[in-house]
Amino acid sequence: MTESATALGIDVGGTNLRIAEIDSAGRILSRHAERVTNGREAFPNRLAELVASYRSPNVGAIGIGIPGRVNAAAGLVLSAGYLDIGGLPLAAWLGATTGLPVVVENDCSMALIAECAIGAARSAENVVMFTIGTGIGGAIVQGGRPLHGHATAGQLGHITVRPGGERCNCGRQGCVETTSSGTSLGRLIREAGLATETTVETLFARSEAGDGVASSVLRAWAEPMRDAATSMAAAFDPDLIVFGGGLGNAMVRALGQLPPETSWYSYDFRAAALGDDAGVIGGGLWALAAHRREGVPQSSLPAFAADVGRVPVFIPQQP
C-alpha cells in the first residue's frame, strides 16, 4: 500500500448507511449517504455496488462499522439489530467480491477509533465511549487498541444500573439502556406529564428557568448514566470517557448539572467531536492502520499504527 493510499470507511446505522473515502490524516475526500438496504443478500450486494461506485484508484482497503455484535477477528457479524445479517462473514465476502482487504468492527468502536485519532480523545490511549441514541452503544480502547475480550466486549448499554428495573431487550433488567437512552428519555417525559413532543433542549431551557419537573426528568435520565460511567472508571481507569451519538452533547450537559458525588473514582468526560462523520473516519483510518505496513502518520494515529501486525484480516487470493 503506497503512502498516498486511501480507504473507504462505511458506517452502517439503524436507518442510514454512509460511505466515504478517507486519507491517512482522517480527511474525507468524498462521501455518500443513503437509506440502509436490508436483507441477507440485498445488504452485502448493495455494499459491493457502493464500493464499486466510490472506489478511487487510491483506495486500498475497506473498514466497516456495524450496529451490533461483531467478531472483529473473524470479520463476522453476529447480530445487527433489525438488519437481517446475523452470521454473515462480511469481511471475507466483501473482500472476495471487491479484491480489497476488509476489516469489520462494531460501529461504536469505529467511532471511538476516529475520536482517538483526530477527535475529542486525540492522543489518549485508554478511553471508554458511550453512544446515546435510540439505544446505548459502547466501545473501549485500551493501550491504543479496541478491546474485544473473547469477541464482543464493549456492550456498555447493558451495564446494570438499576437491579430489578425495567426489562431490557437483552433479556436482563435494569440495563443503562433502559434508563438513559433516547427511548428512555421519551418515557421519562411522558411519565412526568409533559407533552410528548418535548425535546431535550426544551427540558434544559425549562430547568434553567426553575421548572422542577424538567429538572427531575434530566436528573432521572443522567444519574443512571453516571453510575455506568463510574463503573467503567473503576474497571478501566480510562484517561477519558467520551459521550457520542445524537444525545451525547445533551448527556454531557446533564451530567454536568448533577450534584457532586462522593466516590473514589474520578474521571474526565466530554462530548464526542466528530458527529456523524466519526464512523466513516474511524472505518477508513482503522482499515489503513490494519493494512498499511509502513507510513502511518504517528500524529494522527499515535497508537493504532503500532498494532498493524495484530489485526486479523482477510486478504483475497489473486486469481
- Note whether residue 115 is domain-resident: no
- If asked whether residues 205 and 305 sit together in one domain, one would say no
**What confidence score (pLDDT) does residue 2 get?**
64
Domain presence at residue 318: no
**DSSP H or E run through 131:** strand 127-132
Nearest to 229 by CA among 270, 259, 189: 270
Residues 6+ apart with CB under 8 A from 194: 213, 214, 217
- Whole-number pLDDT of residue 99: 94
For residue 257, what is the domain's CATH number? 3.30.420.40
**pLDDT for 233-285, tens place per residue?**
999 999 999 999 999 999 999 999 999 888 888 889 999 999 999 999 999 99
In a shared domain, residues 154 and 246:
yes
Among 272, 271, 268, residue whose Cα is nearest residue 240: 268
Q: State the CB neighbour count (10 A cutoff) for residue 153.
A: 16
pLDDT < 50: residue spans in the chain: 293-319
Helix ranges (H only) for the chain are 42-54, 90-98, 107-118, 177-180, 182-191, 200-208, 212-236, 248-256, 278-291
Structural domain including 166 reads 120-273
User: Model confidence over 15-54: pLDDT tens digits?
Assistant: 899 999 999 999 999 999 999 999 888 999 999 999 999 9
Collapsing DSSP to helix, strand or coil, 211 comes out as coil
CA atoms within 13 Å, Cβ hemisphere of 153: 14
| Residues 33 and 127 both lie in one domain | no
Does 157 share its domain with 244? yes
| CA 52 – CA 73 distance, rounded (Å) | 25
Q: Which pLDDT value is given to residue 292?
A: 65
